[in-house]
Amino acid sequence: MLQFKLVLLGDSSVGKSSIVNRFVKDSFDEFRESTIGAAFLSQTIALQGQPDVSVKFEIWDTAGQERYKSLAPMYYRNANAALVVYDITQAGSLEKAQAWVTELKEKVDDDSLVIYLVGNKVDLAEADQEVCAVPTPEAQQYADDNGLLFGEVSAKTGQGVQDTFQAIGQKLYDLK
Ligand code: GDP
């Protein structure tokens, strides 16, 4: 069994805890309280097409750390992967995610760190195209330019969430 540390980054309310909740418990709670204090969860998946390969994620949620706008060393120390989340309905949300990516690259001295940029709340854009404030090509371009994996998800419907962690697990496995 392979074990990896994954940290979550992104502005408050973009849906970090909801994505983890969807991934680990396959559920969504519209009225969940913001995460306070440390949140730590783990989940094991079998890689698609390689059922004999198990990948265990130890997931560290920021737990309100975004307020301090600076990463605590214990948080990113030994991280193998980072999921950097923005909200596709919030203009400016991608820029905030980009700032987290910049900080991560500065602080984590590990070239093999896997960074996955994810746009959350796509369910809202499906209901109403107008609410999409961050165009997909813009985020895709940024990800390509900076060597990040990229995708869009909905923690609410679950769309794309499993695929995101599959892609991260696969990449970590390939790099091993
Ligand atoms: P965090 O502060 O980044 O951990 O964000 P939360 O997970 O607490 O989510 C913030 C708010 O966005 C909550 O009211 C969630 O119900 C809502 N939310 C999270 N993900 C989604 C999603 O995929 N779709 C929709 N419509 N709402 C979402």
ipTM: 0.99
User: Is 166's C-beta closer than 6 angstroms to any atom of ligand 1?
Assistant: no
pLDDT: which is higher, 128 or 4: 4
Nearest CA to ligand 1 atom 19: 15
Q: Which two tokens stand for residue 47?
A: 């890689």
Question: What pLDDT was estimated at residue 90?
Answer: 96
**154 CA → ligand 1 middle, Å:** 9
User: Is 30's C-beta closer than 6 angstroms to any atom of ligand 1?
Assistant: yes
User: Is 157's C-beta closer than 6 angstroms to any atom of ligand 1?
Assistant: no
**Which residues does residue 165 pair with via DSSP β-bridges, in sequence order?**
none
Per-residue pLDDT tens over the stretch 53-93: 999 999 998 755 666 666 677 788 899 999 999 999 999 99
Nearest CA to ligand 1 atom 18: 15
Rounded Cα gap, residues 45 and 55, in angstroms: 5
User: Is 101's C-beta closer than 6 angstroms to any atom of ligand 1?
Assistant: no
Rounded Cα gap, residues 46 and 69, in angstroms: 34
Over residues 127-152, the mean pLDDT reads: 95
Question: What pLDDT was estimated at residue 74?
Answer: 76
Per-residue pLDDT tens over the stretch 95-110: 999 999 998 999 888 8
